[in-house]
Chain A
Protein backbone atom coordinates (compact mmCIF):
# COMPACT_ATOMS: atom_id res chain seq x y z
CA UNK A 1 0.00 0.00 0.00
CA UNK A 2 1.32 3.47 -0.82
CA UNK A 3 2.03 5.39 2.35
CA UNK A 4 -0.22 8.37 3.12
CA UNK A 5 2.76 10.29 4.39
CA UNK A 6 6.22 9.65 3.09
CA UNK A 7 9.27 11.50 4.34
CA UNK A 8 12.65 11.13 2.65
CA UNK A 9 16.02 12.46 3.82
CA UNK A 10 14.45 15.43 5.57
CA UNK A 11 16.87 17.99 6.96
CA UNK A 12 16.76 21.11 9.08
CA UNK A 13 19.63 22.92 10.75
CA UNK A 14 19.80 25.88 13.05
CA UNK A 15 23.30 27.16 12.38
CA UNK A 16 25.69 24.25 12.80
CA UNK A 17 23.16 22.22 14.78
CA UNK A 18 21.34 19.60 12.71
CA UNK A 19 17.93 19.40 14.38
CA UNK A 20 16.47 17.12 11.75
CA UNK A 21 19.18 14.93 10.31
CA UNK A 22 18.30 12.77 7.32
CA UNK A 23 14.90 11.66 8.61
CA UNK A 24 12.98 9.16 6.50
CA UNK A 25 9.72 7.52 7.52
CA UNK A 26 6.50 6.21 6.06
CA UNK A 27 3.05 6.38 7.57
CA UNK A 28 0.53 3.94 6.09
CA UNK A 29 -3.13 4.95 5.77
CA UNK A 30 -5.03 4.18 8.95
CA UNK A 31 -2.04 3.62 11.18
CA UNK A 32 -1.01 5.46 14.28
CA UNK A 33 2.64 6.25 14.00
CA UNK A 34 4.26 7.46 17.18
CA UNK A 35 7.43 9.50 17.24
CA UNK A 36 9.27 9.29 20.51
CA UNK A 37 12.61 10.52 21.70
CA UNK A 38 14.27 12.27 24.61
CA UNK A 39 13.89 16.02 25.13
CA UNK A 40 15.71 17.97 22.48
CA UNK A 41 15.59 15.11 19.99
CA UNK A 42 13.88 17.38 17.44
CA UNK A 43 10.36 16.00 17.64
CA UNK A 44 8.56 19.32 17.62
CA UNK A 45 10.80 20.67 14.86
CA UNK A 46 9.86 17.63 12.80
CA UNK A 47 6.16 18.33 13.39
CA UNK A 48 6.75 21.95 12.34
CA UNK A 49 8.36 20.74 9.13
CA UNK A 50 5.61 18.22 8.44
CA UNK A 51 2.83 20.75 9.08
CA UNK A 52 4.53 23.49 7.06
CA UNK A 53 5.20 25.84 9.97
CA UNK A 54 8.95 25.53 9.36
CA UNK A 55 10.82 25.19 6.07
CA UNK A 56 13.01 22.20 5.45
CA UNK A 57 16.60 22.64 4.32
CA UNK A 58 16.52 19.45 2.28
CA UNK A 59 14.63 16.27 1.60
CA UNK A 60 11.11 15.60 0.54
CA UNK A 61 7.66 15.23 2.10
CA UNK A 62 4.89 13.52 0.15
CA UNK A 63 1.24 13.37 1.11
CA UNK A 64 -0.62 10.63 -0.77
CA UNK A 65 2.10 10.77 -3.41
CA UNK A 66 2.01 14.53 -3.88
CA UNK A 67 5.17 16.46 -3.12
CA UNK A 68 4.17 19.01 -0.46
CA UNK A 69 7.68 19.97 0.66
CA UNK A 70 7.37 23.53 -0.63
CA UNK A 71 3.76 24.15 0.41
CA UNK A 72 2.81 26.38 3.33
CA UNK A 73 0.68 25.43 6.29
CA UNK A 74 -2.59 26.63 4.78
CA UNK A 75 -2.06 24.66 1.55
CA UNK A 76 -1.25 21.51 3.53
CA UNK A 77 -4.39 21.83 5.65
CA UNK A 78 -6.42 22.09 2.45
CA UNK A 79 -4.82 18.85 1.24
CA UNK A 80 -5.83 17.04 4.39
CA UNK A 81 -2.93 17.39 6.81
CA UNK A 82 -3.71 19.18 10.06
CA UNK A 83 -1.87 19.57 13.33
CA UNK A 84 -2.58 20.17 16.98
CA UNK A 85 -0.32 22.15 19.27
CA UNK A 86 1.86 21.02 22.16
CA UNK A 87 1.01 24.18 24.05
CA UNK A 88 -2.72 24.64 23.82
CA UNK A 89 -3.44 27.25 21.18
CA UNK A 90 -7.10 28.12 20.97
CA UNK A 91 -9.23 31.20 20.39
CA UNK A 92 -9.77 31.76 24.10
CA UNK A 93 -12.29 34.57 23.68
CA UNK A 94 -14.47 32.51 21.34
CA UNK A 95 -17.03 29.97 22.40
CA UNK A 96 -16.06 26.30 22.24
CA UNK A 97 -18.52 25.86 19.38
CA UNK A 98 -17.10 28.80 17.40
CA UNK A 99 -13.55 27.45 17.76
CA UNK A 100 -14.63 24.29 15.98
CA UNK A 101 -17.09 25.95 13.58
CA UNK A 102 -14.24 28.12 12.26
CA UNK A 103 -12.32 24.99 11.30
CA UNK A 104 -15.40 23.75 9.45
CA UNK A 105 -15.83 27.16 7.83
CA UNK A 106 -12.24 27.04 6.55
CA UNK A 107 -13.06 24.14 4.24
CA UNK A 108 -16.63 24.95 3.26
CA UNK A 109 -17.13 27.89 0.97
CA UNK A 110 -15.55 31.30 0.71
CA UNK A 111 -15.05 33.35 3.84
CA UNK A 112 -15.18 36.54 1.82
CA UNK A 113 -18.84 36.90 2.69
CA UNK A 114 -19.59 40.05 4.54
CA UNK A 115 -23.24 40.48 5.39
CA UNK A 116 -24.95 37.34 6.62
CA UNK A 117 -24.43 36.56 10.32
CA UNK A 118 -22.36 33.40 10.70
CA UNK A 119 -23.06 32.57 14.33
CA UNK A 120 -26.35 30.85 13.51
CA UNK A 121 -25.11 28.97 10.45
CA UNK A 122 -26.70 25.55 10.97
CA UNK A 123 -24.48 23.59 8.65
CA UNK A 124 -21.24 24.88 10.18
CA UNK A 125 -22.57 24.48 13.70
CA UNK A 126 -23.93 21.01 12.94
CA UNK A 127 -20.59 19.70 11.77
CA UNK A 128 -18.86 21.45 14.66
CA UNK A 129 -21.24 19.81 17.14
CA UNK A 130 -20.49 16.41 15.60
CA UNK A 131 -16.78 16.95 16.21
CA UNK A 132 -17.43 18.17 19.75
CA UNK A 133 -19.64 15.20 20.39
CA UNK A 134 -16.91 12.86 19.28
CA UNK A 135 -14.39 14.29 21.73
CA UNK A 136 -16.98 14.45 24.50
CA UNK A 137 -17.31 18.22 24.73
CA UNK A 138 -20.83 18.64 23.36
CA UNK A 139 -22.13 19.88 26.70
CA UNK A 140 -19.47 22.60 26.77
CA UNK A 141 -20.35 24.08 23.34
CA UNK A 142 -21.58 27.40 24.69
CA UNK A 143 -18.71 27.97 27.10
CA UNK A 144 -15.83 30.32 26.43
CA UNK A 145 -12.82 28.27 25.30
CA UNK A 146 -10.58 30.11 27.75
CA UNK A 147 -12.72 28.96 30.67
CA UNK A 148 -12.26 25.24 30.02
CA UNK A 149 -10.09 23.02 32.19
CA UNK A 150 -6.70 22.01 30.81
CA UNK A 151 -7.90 18.53 29.88
CA UNK A 152 -10.96 19.93 28.15
CA UNK A 153 -8.76 22.30 26.17
CA UNK A 154 -6.75 19.29 24.98
CA UNK A 155 -10.02 17.67 23.90
CA UNK A 156 -11.01 20.86 22.10
CA UNK A 157 -7.66 20.87 20.27
CA UNK A 158 -8.55 17.43 18.95
CA UNK A 159 -12.05 18.55 17.96
CA UNK A 160 -10.61 21.47 15.99
CA UNK A 161 -8.13 19.19 14.22
CA UNK A 162 -10.97 16.80 13.41
CA UNK A 163 -13.16 19.58 12.10
CA UNK A 164 -10.55 20.63 9.54
CA UNK A 165 -11.60 17.46 7.71
CA UNK A 166 -7.97 16.33 7.50
CA UNK A 167 -7.16 12.67 6.83
CA UNK A 168 -3.84 12.90 8.57
CA UNK A 169 -3.54 14.50 11.98
CA UNK A 170 -0.21 15.48 13.49
CA UNK A 171 -0.70 15.50 17.23
CA UNK A 172 2.01 17.22 19.22
CA UNK A 173 1.89 15.84 22.74
CA UNK A 174 -1.90 15.72 23.12
CA UNK A 175 -1.48 14.44 26.70
CA UNK A 176 0.92 17.19 27.78
CA UNK A 177 0.17 18.48 31.24
CA UNK A 178 -2.86 16.30 31.88
CA UNK A 179 -3.59 14.39 35.07
CA UNK A 180 -4.13 10.61 35.17
CA UNK A 181 -7.89 10.82 34.74
CA UNK A 182 -7.78 13.32 31.87
CA UNK A 183 -4.98 11.35 30.30
CA UNK A 184 -6.99 8.12 30.39
CA UNK A 185 -9.91 9.88 28.72
CA UNK A 186 -7.67 11.29 25.99
CA UNK A 187 -6.07 7.90 25.33
CA UNK A 188 -9.56 6.47 24.84
CA UNK A 189 -10.31 9.33 22.51
CA UNK A 190 -7.15 8.76 20.46
CA UNK A 191 -8.00 5.07 20.17
CA UNK A 192 -11.38 6.11 18.77
CA UNK A 193 -9.75 8.54 16.29
CA UNK A 194 -7.52 5.71 15.04
CA UNK A 195 -10.57 4.07 13.54
CA UNK A 196 -11.14 6.94 11.11
CA UNK A 197 -7.89 8.87 10.81
CA UNK A 198 -4.24 8.38 10.17
CA UNK A 199 -2.33 9.79 13.11
CA UNK A 200 1.22 10.89 13.72
CA UNK A 201 1.63 11.18 17.46
CA UNK A 202 4.40 12.79 19.42
CA UNK A 203 4.10 11.85 23.04
CA UNK A 204 6.17 11.54 26.19
CA UNK A 205 3.79 9.24 28.01
CA UNK A 206 5.35 5.87 27.17
CA UNK A 207 2.47 3.82 28.54
CA UNK A 208 0.11 5.66 26.23
CA UNK A 209 2.44 5.38 23.26
CA UNK A 210 2.92 1.63 23.61
CA UNK A 211 -0.81 1.15 24.12
CA UNK A 212 -1.75 3.12 21.01
CA UNK A 213 0.98 2.91 18.39
CA UNK A 214 0.87 0.58 15.41
CA UNK A 215 4.39 1.58 14.54
CA UNK A 216 6.85 3.99 16.00
CA UNK A 217 10.05 5.82 15.20
CA UNK A 218 12.64 6.77 17.76
CA UNK A 219 14.30 10.12 17.23
CA UNK A 220 17.63 10.91 18.91
CA UNK A 221 19.61 14.05 18.06
CA UNK A 222 17.50 14.53 14.95
CA UNK A 223 18.12 11.02 13.58
CA UNK A 224 15.75 8.09 13.40
CA UNK A 225 17.63 5.33 15.20
CA UNK A 226 14.84 2.76 15.02
CA UNK A 227 11.51 2.35 13.31
CA UNK A 228 8.98 -0.46 13.46
CA UNK A 229 6.25 -2.09 15.55
CA UNK A 230 6.36 -1.26 19.29
CA UNK A 231 7.66 -4.68 20.34
CA UNK A 232 10.53 -4.56 17.89
CA UNK A 233 11.43 -1.04 18.92
CA UNK A 234 11.27 -1.94 22.58
CA UNK A 235 13.69 -4.78 21.98
CA UNK A 236 16.09 -2.76 19.84
CA UNK A 237 19.43 -2.53 21.67
CA UNK A 238 20.23 0.93 20.27
CA UNK A 239 16.92 2.25 21.54
CA UNK A 240 17.44 0.71 24.94
CA UNK A 241 20.86 2.26 25.17
CA UNK A 242 19.94 5.66 23.88
CA UNK A 243 16.52 6.30 25.16
CA UNK A 244 14.52 3.85 27.18
CA UNK A 245 17.51 3.15 29.38
CA UNK A 246 17.20 1.51 32.75
CA UNK A 247 13.61 2.52 33.13
CA UNK A 248 12.28 0.13 30.50
CA UNK A 249 14.71 -2.67 31.14
Chain B
Protein backbone atom coordinates (compact mmCIF):
# COMPACT_ATOMS: atom_id res chain seq x y z
CA UNK B 1 0.00 0.00 0.00
CA UNK B 2 1.37 3.32 -0.97
CA UNK B 3 -0.07 6.29 0.78
CA UNK B 4 1.27 8.90 -1.53
CA UNK B 5 -0.05 10.18 -4.75
CA UNK B 6 2.68 10.89 -7.23
CA UNK B 7 4.56 13.82 -5.77
CA UNK B 8 6.70 16.39 -7.49
CA UNK B 9 9.59 15.30 -5.34
CA UNK B 10 13.01 16.57 -6.29
CA UNK B 11 13.58 13.64 -8.63
CA UNK B 12 16.94 14.82 -9.72
CA UNK B 13 18.55 11.90 -8.02
CA UNK B 14 17.44 9.13 -5.77
CA UNK B 15 20.41 8.74 -3.49
CA UNK B 16 21.93 11.45 -1.36
CA UNK B 17 25.08 12.73 -2.97
CA UNK B 18 28.43 11.34 -1.99
CA UNK B 19 30.43 14.30 -3.15
CA UNK B 20 33.58 14.74 -1.12
CA UNK B 21 32.80 18.45 -0.81
CA UNK B 22 29.37 17.86 0.74
CA UNK B 23 30.72 16.83 4.12
CA UNK B 24 33.05 19.84 4.28
CA UNK B 25 30.24 22.19 3.26
CA UNK B 26 28.02 20.79 6.01
CA UNK B 27 30.80 21.16 8.56
CA UNK B 28 31.35 24.76 7.51
CA UNK B 29 27.62 25.42 7.79
CA UNK B 30 27.67 23.99 11.29
CA UNK B 31 30.58 26.22 12.28
CA UNK B 32 28.84 29.26 10.79
CA UNK B 33 25.67 28.45 12.74
CA UNK B 34 27.68 28.00 15.92
CA UNK B 35 28.96 31.55 15.50
CA UNK B 36 25.47 33.08 15.34
CA UNK B 37 25.19 33.91 19.07
CA UNK B 38 28.61 35.55 19.03
CA UNK B 39 27.74 37.64 15.98
CA UNK B 40 24.29 38.54 17.26
CA UNK B 41 25.73 39.83 20.52
CA UNK B 42 28.50 41.52 18.59
CA UNK B 43 26.11 43.60 16.49
CA UNK B 44 23.99 44.33 19.55
CA UNK B 45 20.99 42.28 18.41
CA UNK B 46 20.66 39.45 20.93
CA UNK B 47 17.01 38.93 19.93
CA UNK B 48 18.39 37.31 16.80
CA UNK B 49 19.50 34.41 18.99
CA UNK B 50 15.87 33.72 19.82
CA UNK B 51 14.88 33.83 16.15
CA UNK B 52 17.78 31.59 15.25
CA UNK B 53 16.79 29.11 17.96
CA UNK B 54 13.26 28.97 16.59
CA UNK B 55 14.69 28.34 13.13
CA UNK B 56 16.76 25.43 14.46
CA UNK B 57 13.77 23.95 16.28
CA UNK B 58 11.48 24.16 13.26
CA UNK B 59 14.29 22.82 11.09
CA UNK B 60 14.26 19.68 13.24
CA UNK B 61 10.49 19.38 12.80
CA UNK B 62 10.76 20.04 9.05
CA UNK B 63 13.51 17.44 8.71
CA UNK B 64 11.28 14.84 10.31
CA UNK B 65 8.40 15.77 8.03
CA UNK B 66 10.72 15.53 5.04
CA UNK B 67 11.40 11.91 5.94
CA UNK B 68 7.66 11.24 5.71
CA UNK B 69 6.79 13.60 2.87
CA UNK B 70 9.91 13.82 0.76
CA UNK B 71 11.38 10.34 1.17
CA UNK B 72 8.31 8.34 2.14
CA UNK B 73 5.82 9.95 -0.28
CA UNK B 74 3.28 10.30 2.53
CA UNK B 75 1.62 13.72 2.62
CA UNK B 76 1.02 14.02 6.34
CA UNK B 77 -1.12 17.01 7.22
CA UNK B 78 -1.00 16.40 10.94
CA UNK B 79 2.66 16.64 11.71
CA UNK B 80 2.34 19.58 14.09
CA UNK B 81 0.51 17.23 16.47
CA UNK B 82 3.84 15.58 17.25
CA UNK B 83 5.52 18.90 17.95
CA UNK B 84 2.61 19.73 20.25
CA UNK B 85 2.70 16.36 22.02
CA UNK B 86 6.43 16.85 22.64
CA UNK B 87 5.78 20.31 24.05
CA UNK B 88 3.01 19.00 26.31
CA UNK B 89 5.34 16.27 27.57
CA UNK B 90 7.41 19.11 29.02
CA UNK B 91 4.42 21.11 30.32
CA UNK B 92 2.56 18.22 31.90
CA UNK B 93 5.59 16.60 33.51
CA UNK B 94 6.72 20.02 34.81
CA UNK B 95 3.29 20.57 36.34
CA UNK B 96 3.89 17.38 38.30
CA UNK B 97 7.33 18.41 39.44
CA UNK B 98 9.35 16.44 36.89
CA UNK B 99 11.67 19.00 35.38
CA UNK B 100 14.43 16.81 34.04
CA UNK B 101 15.03 17.35 30.33
CA UNK B 102 16.09 13.77 29.70
CA UNK B 103 12.99 12.32 31.35
CA UNK B 104 10.77 14.79 29.48
CA UNK B 105 12.49 13.99 26.19
CA UNK B 106 12.14 10.25 26.75
CA UNK B 107 8.45 10.72 27.52
CA UNK B 108 8.01 12.83 24.39
CA UNK B 109 9.74 10.20 22.25
CA UNK B 110 7.63 7.37 23.61
CA UNK B 111 4.32 9.24 23.40
CA UNK B 112 4.99 10.51 19.89
CA UNK B 113 6.22 7.15 18.62
CA UNK B 114 3.12 5.44 20.02
CA UNK B 115 0.76 8.07 18.59
CA UNK B 116 2.51 7.72 15.22
CA UNK B 117 2.38 3.94 15.37
CA UNK B 118 -1.35 3.80 16.04
CA UNK B 119 -2.47 6.64 13.77
CA UNK B 120 0.05 5.71 11.07
CA UNK B 121 -1.10 2.09 11.00
CA UNK B 122 -4.64 3.31 10.40
CA UNK B 123 -3.78 6.16 8.03
CA UNK B 124 -1.56 4.00 5.82
CA UNK B 125 -4.57 1.92 4.88
CA UNK B 126 -5.60 4.86 2.71
CA UNK B 127 -3.90 6.65 -0.14
CA UNK B 128 -3.52 10.04 -1.70
CA UNK B 129 -6.07 12.64 -0.67
CA UNK B 130 -7.59 10.28 1.89
CA UNK B 131 -4.25 9.93 3.60
CA UNK B 132 -3.98 13.71 3.80
CA UNK B 133 -7.49 13.92 5.27
CA UNK B 134 -7.02 11.17 7.83
CA UNK B 135 -3.70 12.53 9.10
CA UNK B 136 -5.36 15.94 9.34
CA UNK B 137 -8.20 14.36 11.33
CA UNK B 138 -5.82 12.70 13.77
CA UNK B 139 -3.94 15.95 14.18
CA UNK B 140 -7.17 17.78 14.95
CA UNK B 141 -8.13 15.08 17.44
CA UNK B 142 -4.90 15.70 19.32
CA UNK B 143 -5.53 19.44 19.09
CA UNK B 144 -9.05 19.26 20.53
CA UNK B 145 -7.95 16.81 23.19
CA UNK B 146 -5.50 19.39 24.49
CA UNK B 147 -8.06 22.19 24.17
CA UNK B 148 -10.40 20.24 26.42
CA UNK B 149 -7.68 19.37 28.94
CA UNK B 150 -8.44 22.26 31.29
CA UNK B 151 -6.06 20.98 33.97
CA UNK B 152 -3.22 22.05 31.69
CA UNK B 153 -4.57 25.37 30.52
CA UNK B 154 -7.02 24.13 27.92
CA UNK B 155 -7.42 26.57 25.09
CA UNK B 156 -5.24 29.21 26.75
CA UNK B 157 -2.24 27.00 27.14
CA UNK B 158 0.08 26.88 30.07
CA UNK B 159 3.20 28.82 31.03
CA UNK B 160 6.25 27.06 32.35
CA UNK B 161 7.77 28.34 35.59
CA UNK B 162 11.22 27.79 34.20
CA UNK B 163 13.02 25.81 31.56
CA UNK B 164 13.84 22.13 31.95
CA UNK B 165 16.73 21.11 34.18
CA UNK B 166 19.51 18.80 33.12
CA UNK B 167 20.22 16.45 36.02
CA UNK B 168 19.07 19.19 38.32
CA UNK B 169 21.27 21.88 36.78
CA UNK B 170 19.92 25.05 35.14
CA UNK B 171 21.94 24.40 32.00
CA UNK B 172 19.54 25.79 29.42
CA UNK B 173 18.06 28.69 31.38
CA UNK B 174 19.98 31.11 29.15
CA UNK B 175 19.02 31.70 25.51
CA UNK B 176 22.54 31.05 24.25
CA UNK B 177 22.72 27.67 25.96
CA UNK B 178 19.33 26.72 24.54
CA UNK B 179 20.54 27.79 21.10
CA UNK B 180 23.48 25.42 21.32
CA UNK B 181 21.29 22.60 22.59
CA UNK B 182 18.95 23.07 19.63
CA UNK B 183 21.92 23.21 17.27
CA UNK B 184 23.31 20.02 18.75
CA UNK B 185 19.99 18.18 18.41
CA UNK B 186 19.61 19.45 14.85
CA UNK B 187 23.10 18.27 13.93
CA UNK B 188 22.51 14.81 15.41
CA UNK B 189 19.10 14.48 13.72
CA UNK B 190 20.52 15.68 10.41
CA UNK B 191 23.40 13.20 10.44
CA UNK B 192 21.15 10.35 11.59
CA UNK B 193 18.64 11.01 8.82
CA UNK B 194 21.43 11.31 6.27
CA UNK B 195 22.62 7.86 7.27
CA UNK B 196 19.09 6.47 7.36
CA UNK B 197 18.25 7.72 3.88
CA UNK B 198 21.34 6.03 2.44
CA UNK B 199 20.89 2.77 4.37
CA UNK B 200 19.18 -0.43 3.30
CA UNK B 201 16.00 0.87 4.89
CA UNK B 202 16.32 4.25 3.22
CA UNK B 203 16.81 2.72 -0.20
CA UNK B 204 13.65 0.66 0.20
CA UNK B 205 11.75 3.75 1.32
CA UNK B 206 12.98 5.73 -1.70
CA UNK B 207 12.13 2.81 -3.95
CA UNK B 208 8.56 2.78 -2.65
CA UNK B 209 8.33 6.50 -3.35
CA UNK B 210 9.38 5.91 -6.95
CA UNK B 211 7.26 2.87 -7.71
CA UNK B 212 5.41 0.98 -4.98
CA UNK B 213 4.07 -1.69 -7.38
CA UNK B 214 7.54 -2.52 -8.64
CA UNK B 215 8.81 -2.75 -5.07
CA UNK B 216 6.04 -5.16 -4.13
CA UNK B 217 6.84 -7.29 -7.17
CA UNK B 218 10.42 -7.77 -5.96
CA UNK B 219 9.33 -8.52 -2.42
CA UNK B 220 9.00 -5.24 -0.51
CA UNK B 221 5.54 -4.46 0.86
CA UNK B 222 5.21 -0.71 1.38
CA UNK B 223 3.35 -0.77 4.69
CA UNK B 224 6.01 -1.79 7.25
CA UNK B 225 8.63 0.52 5.74
CA UNK B 226 6.35 3.52 5.45
CA UNK B 227 5.00 2.96 8.95
CA UNK B 228 8.51 2.76 10.40
CA UNK B 229 9.46 6.02 8.72
CA UNK B 230 6.26 7.57 10.03
CA UNK B 231 7.06 6.51 13.60
CA UNK B 232 10.68 7.70 13.42
CA UNK B 233 9.51 11.05 12.06
CA UNK B 234 6.87 11.42 14.77
CA UNK B 235 9.44 10.80 17.50
CA UNK B 236 11.87 13.35 16.04
CA UNK B 237 9.11 15.95 15.79
CA UNK B 238 8.40 15.28 19.46
CA UNK B 239 11.98 16.30 20.27
CA UNK B 240 11.41 19.54 18.40
CA UNK B 241 8.36 20.05 20.61
CA UNK B 242 10.43 19.59 23.78
CA UNK B 243 12.79 22.29 22.57
CA UNK B 244 9.95 24.57 21.48
CA UNK B 245 8.30 24.40 24.91
CA UNK B 246 11.59 25.37 26.51
CA UNK B 247 12.25 28.15 24.04
CA UNK B 248 8.84 29.78 24.51
CA UNK B 249 8.44 28.69 28.16
CA UNK B 250 4.83 28.30 27.15
CA UNK B 251 2.76 25.52 25.63
CA UNK B 252 -0.66 25.74 24.01
CA UNK B 253 -2.85 23.69 21.67
CA UNK B 254 -2.03 26.23 18.94
CA UNK B 255 1.27 24.37 18.48
CA UNK B 256 -0.63 21.46 17.03
CA UNK B 257 -3.19 23.29 14.92
CA UNK B 258 -3.59 22.35 11.28
CA UNK B 259 -2.16 25.73 10.27
CA UNK B 260 1.08 24.72 11.97
CA UNK B 261 1.04 21.43 10.07
CA UNK B 262 0.56 23.42 6.89
CA UNK B 263 3.52 25.63 7.74
CA UNK B 264 5.70 22.56 8.19
CA UNK B 265 4.65 21.33 4.75
CA UNK B 266 5.44 24.76 3.32
CA UNK B 267 8.91 24.60 4.86
CA UNK B 268 9.61 21.22 3.29
CA UNK B 269 8.23 22.18 -0.13
CA UNK B 270 9.89 25.59 -0.03
CA UNK B 271 13.25 24.01 0.75
CA UNK B 272 12.88 21.11 -1.66
CA UNK B 273 11.22 17.82 -0.82
CA UNK B 274 13.45 14.83 -0.43
CA UNK B 275 16.56 16.84 0.34
CA UNK B 276 17.58 17.17 3.96
CA UNK B 277 19.44 20.43 3.40
CA UNK B 278 16.26 21.73 1.79
CA UNK B 279 14.16 21.07 4.89
CA UNK B 280 16.57 23.12 7.01
CA UNK B 281 16.73 25.88 4.39
CA UNK B 282 12.94 25.91 4.12
CA UNK B 283 12.52 26.30 7.88
CA UNK B 284 15.07 29.12 7.93
CA UNK B 285 13.48 30.86 4.96
CA UNK B 286 9.93 30.66 6.26
CA UNK B 287 10.73 31.90 9.76
CA UNK B 288 13.06 34.61 8.49
CA UNK B 289 10.44 35.77 6.00
CA UNK B 290 7.72 35.63 8.64
CA UNK B 291 9.67 37.79 11.03
CA UNK B 292 11.06 40.00 8.27
CA UNK B 293 7.81 40.67 6.43
CA UNK B 294 5.92 41.04 9.71
CA UNK B 295 8.02 44.16 10.33
CA UNK B 296 6.76 45.75 7.14
CA UNK B 297 3.13 44.82 7.14
CA UNK B 298 0.55 42.84 9.03
CA UNK B 299 -0.42 41.39 5.66
CA UNK B 300 2.91 39.60 5.41
CA UNK B 301 1.27 36.33 4.52
CA UNK B 302 0.30 37.85 1.18
CA UNK B 303 3.96 38.42 0.37
CA UNK B 304 4.78 34.92 1.53
CA UNK B 305 2.05 33.52 -0.69
CA UNK B 306 3.47 35.29 -3.72
CA UNK B 307 6.95 33.96 -3.00
CA UNK B 308 5.60 30.44 -2.68
CA UNK B 309 3.71 30.65 -5.95
CA UNK B 310 6.82 31.87 -7.75
CA UNK B 311 9.01 29.22 -6.18
CA UNK B 312 6.64 26.38 -7.01
CA UNK B 313 6.21 27.63 -10.59
CA UNK B 314 9.81 28.47 -11.30
CA UNK B 315 11.82 26.18 -9.09
CA UNK B 316 10.05 22.92 -8.44
CA UNK B 317 12.97 21.49 -6.50
CA UNK B 318 12.59 24.25 -3.93
CA UNK B 319 15.52 26.20 -2.56
CA UNK B 320 17.79 23.15 -2.72
CA UNK B 321 16.90 22.56 -6.37
CA UNK B 322 17.32 26.22 -7.22
CA UNK B 323 20.79 26.54 -5.72
CA UNK B 324 21.80 23.29 -7.37
CA UNK B 325 20.69 24.56 -10.76
CA UNK B 326 22.47 27.86 -10.22
CA UNK B 327 25.65 25.93 -9.51
CA UNK B 328 24.98 23.84 -12.60
CA UNK B 329 25.13 20.69 -10.56
CA UNK B 330 22.63 18.39 -8.94
CA UNK B 331 20.44 18.93 -5.91
CA UNK B 332 22.05 18.30 -2.57
Contacts and interface: CB of A to CB of B under 8 A. Distances in A.
B137 interface: no
Given A77-B219, A82-B217, A93-B13, A102 B203 contact: yes
B325 interface: no
B40 interface: no
Interface stretch (B68-76, B77-85, B220-228, B276-284): B220-228
Overall SS of chain B's interface: helix
Contacts, number: 106
A232 to B, nearest CB: 33
Contacts of B195: 114-117
Contacts of A85: 214, 217
B199 interface: yes
B11 interface: yes
Contacts of A105: 200, 203-204
B37 interface: no
Given A78-B219, A106-B219, A118 B203 contact: yes
B200 A51 contact: no
Interface in A69-93: 72-74, 77-78, 82-83, 85, 89-93
Most buried by A among B14, B203, B213, B219: B219
| Chain B: number of interface residues, binned into ranges | 20 to 34
Contacts of A53: 213, 217
A67 B202 CA distance: 34
Most buried by B among A102, A103, A113: A102
B213 A89 contact: yes
A228 B296 CA distance: 82
Nearest to B214: A89
Given A77-B219, A117-B195, A98 B15 contact: yes
Nearest to A108: B200
Given A102-B204, A102-B207, A93 B14 contact: yes
A73 B228 CA distance: 21
A196 B29 CA distance: 54
Contacts of A9: none
A79 to B, nearest CB: 10
B15 A119 contact: yes
A73 B18 CA distance: 34
B151 interface: no
Interface of B: 11, 13-15, 18, 195-196, 198-204, 206-207, 210-211, 213-221, 225, 228
Given A94-B207, A112-B200, 13 more contacts: A73-B217, A77-B219, A89-B213, A91-B215, A94-B206, A95-B14, A102-B203, A102-B204, A102-B218, A117-B195, A117-B198, A118-B203, A119-B203
5 contacts: A74-B219, A92-B210, A98-B15, A98-B203, A115-B195
